[in-house]
Chain A
Amino acid sequence: MDQHHHSQLFKVGNAQVSRFEDMRLITGNGKYSSDWNAPDQLHACFLRSDRAHARIVSINYDKVSQVKGVVGVYIGADAQAAGYLRSASFLPPTGKGGMKARVPARPCLAIGKVRFVGDPVAMVIAESHLAAQDACELIDVVYEDLPAIVDPEEALKPGAPQLHDDVPGNCPVEAECGNEAATMEAIAKAAHVTKITVDCTRVTASPMEPRAALIEYKAESDSYVVHTPSQGVNMTRKQFATYSNLGEEKFRVEIQDVGGGFGQRSTVYPEYVSMMMAAKALQRPIKWVSTRTECFLTDTHGRANLITATLALDKNAQFTGMRIDWITDQGAYLSPTGPAGHIRNATTCMNGVYKIPALYGHFKVALTSTGWVAAYRGAGRPDIAYAIERAVDAAALELKMDPADLRRRNYVPLNEYPYKSATGSTIEIADLPGLSAKALSLADWPGFEARRAASAKKGKLRGIGMSAVIEPTGAGTYPRDEIEVSVGADGIVTLHTVSHSQGQGHETSFAMVTANALGIPAERVKVRQGDADRSVTMIGNHSGGSRTMVGAGTVCHIAANKLIDAGKSLAAEDLGVEPSQVNYSKGEFSSPHSKQKVTLAQVAAKKKLSVVGEGTFTSTYPNGCHITEVEIDPETGVTDIASYLSVDDCGHIVSHTIVEGQMHGAVVQGLGQVFGEHIVYDKDTGQMITGSFSDYIMPRAGQLKSIQMEEYTTLSKLGPLGIKGMGESGCTASLPALVNAVCNALGVRHLDMPLTPSKVWATIQQTKAQQAKH
């Protein structure tokens, strides 16, 4: 497939481009955060709350001095003295009807109260990690237990236990979008109304690299050097600055490789800020590497949204309005990306891929005594798509319609793009009628009943499910993205970026874009990220929201062209002509007025050849249609994925290898949530039940044996390359496609994730019992 579709735009020799970074990464030569060490470093260990909600009566750490090598203990009082009390929050200041958002404090070490199992209470600093661990066990904390509250709906009810004095009702903010009156009128006048509540379950990202940090204090400049997994150095610096009330210039962030982000690495966590206190007080670097248990308990979780969709249809099965009521569980504190992304992204694409004249969304943010929640691959995009696509399938079931036909009747047609949605967004370009027709044909949608019958003969329940989705990607929070490009005397082109790869392969894709613009082999372009000095001087977004190829990737093209212009001026002197008379091709400057040629390397050897390109971008809209068939073993409830087809519109594709990798990963990440991944807390105690991989069900390699991936492209005009950001869209499409298929196989209207074998089996038993009654 790759060869068939391979773009002529990019070639590296004759080979299909595999990623330049892969040899380094797969041979163990990556440098991750825990690989950074400093001479004279000390080790941190955190004593964490073992209960969900309690008042701290006292903390006695007299006994820690019994452990050799302990040099310091820090508690909430130290956080208070330092003023490290509030993590950054990107939540807009006002919500529904001008309601002022109430962002709770998040001291870096708990002050007065703990609010979830894992809340850091004390930090021990010692000469070794082992000594710090031993000492933590000797700290005596007296708690006065308060009731745990893990259900967001319960947390929002009057009389619920209050987590924060300054957040009444455990509700930091309510928000709304669209037109309530018009939507309610559409629902009232509808020929048919479908109402469905879906739990977009709480999950955790589980990147291979655990959280870690090495924090160094530089006395001469009263500043800090930070090494920690990050999705972009600028966002990390900004959050450190906000948490510690210092200027961003006080932080230099130096990173090489990051082993998975998924939104979970976009947060500056309280542990890192706690370590700043010790680094400064003790004048020694502080190192910490979290355990996997700490990852489960304290890394930000994802999703955790309870969504009710009320879809109104007229007698022709045209959608006339939809109301979305959304409760987002944010855990005990608001993370920086917290509910803001969920609300913004869901608002932008609340119509999905459909013409829906009236829309209204109502969001309630809830705090519970659980781990905090942040952006997670899609951050609200998969959630809203899941609610809409489940509602559409439920409507089709109720109306006894083919779900593909119901969708076809309601797609926004190509000629109505750019489409202005009823929530106020302008969606650039997509062609769902054309794209989904291709998908339905490739999947042989009409032939499904024959395949269902064949499965039934084997005693298996077969189901088919589709999803049609779109989402906003690419918009950033910084004023522009910059790429510095320079040429060495050896002709090697070096790029510098502050957008950080967490595995996406920027060293390859950025090199390909640059090499194409310069007409040189991509091997001659080296990509540098996470440079400490440039983290202070360069501007650009972090890698999140599927934005990096749209932004920094496109700027590689812009910067390369700027470099050619700069080179022409320098080459003109050598060639003895005017700059306007200089041509550039494949690494060489020439002129019809000169017999000479000079190479990029020759120009760079004489004079500094370096430019900074920049660009500012808003949203692109990747979209797609995924169709999957499942076969269920009714004896065990095990779901086998019989086929999975994706047809996606990612705009122009720079590297098919990387896009396929992103799509595979995203589809499987959705599959993980559908079939197993679920963070569960005990309702009474607030203890996490799924705190290890013995209980947290990760997807396995064999679960999805192959994906048939196809393209259907419309180009974005946002940038010169036509790229649409696509790092998350596979996840957005796979959640509803897979759940739709399982519901179809079981003949049920809805089943909440995770669709574990035991849940599927229990559903089959219930259906059998109901059928026996009738």
Chain B
Amino acid sequence: MHTFSYVKAKSLKEAGDMLAAHADAKLLAGGMTLIPTMKARLAQPSHLIDIAGIAELSGIDVKNGRLTIGAATRHVEVAKSAVVKKAIPTLAYLASQIGDPQVRNRGTIGGSLANNDPAADYPSAALSLNATIVTNKREIAADDFFQGIFTTALGAGEMIVKIVFPIPAKAAYEKFPHPASGFAMAGSFVSQDGKAVRVAITGAGPGVFRWKDAEAALGKKLAAASVENLNVDATDLNEDMHGTKEYRANLAKVMTKRAVAKLAGTAATSKSSGK
């Protein structure tokens, strides 16, 4: 690790000012990606601005059919939150499946979304649920937020404050863990609200994406059989020693089928336990 300066921000404004003042500064929330990258000497921030203790970034609550989660909320808090379990149980389930206990005890929802690792779990939930990413400068729709591998709409000096999830009628998440890393090799988050079904695929491609063919078919009939004859376009998917594009396309489809099967039988979100 290279040497760096550590500063603890007390407020959102202070964090924003520090970020503006130091061109090579980085925000530190859970540090689950940043710290290992620094230890491998691949990142050399001049300053780490610790935002974990900022009050404006914490809190989980439900209002007007929307679930709001503060950016610095740790995965373990989402996984165990009675509020989240009642509003969108699948989101709590997804959080319980991220990494390992150590990661869940440190990693945050804002950090995961801002990093936009193509194999992360949270981006699929944000995209499928049509969440709004609220930053210190503006509100960004999930459809506009994710822009491919490790890239988001966040600009310089911009930081996520909270995430607002519309509460769907039903939702389910299924992922196929990478046999080495445990990250999603393909994960599918399926949600239904009224007639609209949104399917977000993570892990398989260079970034989270919506599988619109499946959405259309599932909008007509919410059943696993609806996607049986569809295929995820493999052209732009990831390929490496762990799997071909075709294998990842297949996994995306199988995970979608399994997610649909899971939610098809459930009447309301409050009963659609992810387990």
- Residues of A at the B interface (CB closer than 8 Å) are 130, 133-134, 137, 293, 635-637, 675-676, 680, 689-690, 693-698, 756-758, 761-762, 765
Contacts and interface: CB of A to CB of B under 8 A. Distances in A.
A758 B181 contact: no
B40 interface: yes
B205 to A, nearest CB: 16
Contacts of B250: 635, 761
Given A680-B241, A758-B247, 19 more contacts: A130-B1, A133-B1, A635-B250, A635-B254, A636-B176, A693-B181, A694-B180, A694-B181, A694-B183, A695-B242, A696-B180, A697-B180, A756-B179, A757-B176, A757-B243, A758-B244, A761-B250, A762-B244, A765-B246
27 contacts: A130-B1, A130-B3, A134-B2, A293-B40, A635-B250, A636-B251, A636-B254, A675-B179, A676-B180, A680-B241, A689-B241, A693-B180, A694-B181, A694-B183, A695-B180, A695-B181, A695-B241, A695-B242, A697-B180, A756-B243, A757-B176, A758-B243, A758-B244, A758-B247, A761-B247, A762-B244, A762-B247
A694 to B, nearest CB: 4
Interface string B46-67: 0000000000000000000000
Interface residues of B, number: 19
B275 interface: no
Interface string B38-50: 0011000000000
B251 A756 contact: no
With most chain A CB atoms within 10 A of its CB, the pick from B246, B250, B254 is B250
B179 A676 contact: yes
A133 B242 contact: no
A758 B242 contact: yes
Interface string B136-159: 000000000000000000000000
Nearest to B257: A635
Contacts of B247: 637, 758, 761-762
A130 B247 CA distance: 43
B261 to A, nearest CB: 12
**Max chain B Cβ within 10 angstroms of own Cβ: one of A134, A675, A680:** A134
Contacts of A133: 1, 41
A758 B180 CA distance: 13
A757 B177 CA distance: 11
A698 B243 CA distance: 17
Contacts of A758: 242-244, 247
Is chain B's interface secondary structure helix, strand, loop, or mixed overall? loop
Contacts of A293: 40
A770 B40 CA distance: 47
Contact of A757 (B1, B3, B179): B179
Contacts of B2: 134
Interface string B168-212: 000000001001110100000000000000000000000000000
B186 to A, nearest CB: 9
Interface in B218-275: 241-244, 246-247, 250-251, 254
- 4 A-B pairs with the lowest CB-CB distances in the bound complex, closest first: A758-B243, A697-B180, A694-B181, A758-B247
A538 B157 CA distance: 67
B254 A698 contact: no
A83 B243 CA distance: 47
A635 B246 CA distance: 12
Given A134-B2, A137-B41, A761-B250, A697 B241 contact: no
Contact of A697 (B1, B179, B251, B254): B179
A756 B179 CA distance: 8
Contacts of B244: 758, 762
B101 to A, nearest CB: 14
Nearest to B186: A636
Contacts of A676: 179-180
Contacts of A675: 179
A762 B176 CA distance: 16
A682 to B, nearest CB: 10
Nearest to B251: A636
A689 B251 CA distance: 23
Nearest to A694: B181
A638 B259 CA distance: 18
Contacts of B246: 765
Contacts of B179: 675-676, 697, 756-757
A690 B178 CA distance: 14
A700 B176 CA distance: 15
A695 to B, nearest CB: 5
Nearest to B2: A134
Interface string B15-45: 0000000000000000000000000110000
Contacts of B181: 693-695
A695 B243 CA distance: 12
A696 B242 CA distance: 10
Nearest to A134: B2
Contacts of B3: 130
Nearest to A696: B180
Contacts of B40: 293
Which of A635, A689, A758, A765 has the most chain B CB within a 10 Å cutoff?
Answer: A758
A636 B247 CA distance: 8
A291 to B, nearest CB: 8
Nearest to A754: B179
A765 B242 CA distance: 16
Max chain B CB contacts within 10 Å: which of A133, A134, A698, A757? A757
A694 B242 CA distance: 11
Contacts of A137: 41
A675 B183 CA distance: 18
Contacts of B251: 636
A72 to B, nearest CB: 22
A94 B165 CA distance: 73
Contacts of A696: 180
A760 to B, nearest CB: 10
Nearest to A757: B179
A761 B249 CA distance: 12
A675 B243 CA distance: 14
Nearest to B178: A694
Contacts of B243: 756-758
A529 B19 CA distance: 55
A634 B242 CA distance: 17
Nearest to A293: B40
A203 to B, nearest CB: 13
A219 to B, nearest CB: 35
A44 B242 CA distance: 36
A133 B44 CA distance: 14
Nearest to B250: A761
Contacts of B254: 635-636
A134 B2 CA distance: 7
A695 B240 CA distance: 10
A637 B176 CA distance: 11
Nearest to B248: A758
B46 to A, nearest CB: 15
B241 A698 contact: no
Nearest to A676: B179
Nearest to B40: A293
A676 B179 CA distance: 8
A641 B3 CA distance: 48
A491 to B, nearest CB: 46
A757 B3 CA distance: 42
Interface in B52-91: none
Contacts of A765: 246
A501 B70 CA distance: 50
Contacts of A680: 241
A762 B241 CA distance: 13
Contacts of B1: 130, 133
B106 to A, nearest CB: 18
B41 A756 contact: no
Contacts of A761: 247, 250
B234 to A, nearest CB: 13
A289 to B, nearest CB: 13
A251 B62 CA distance: 69
A635 B224 CA distance: 14
B120 to A, nearest CB: 13
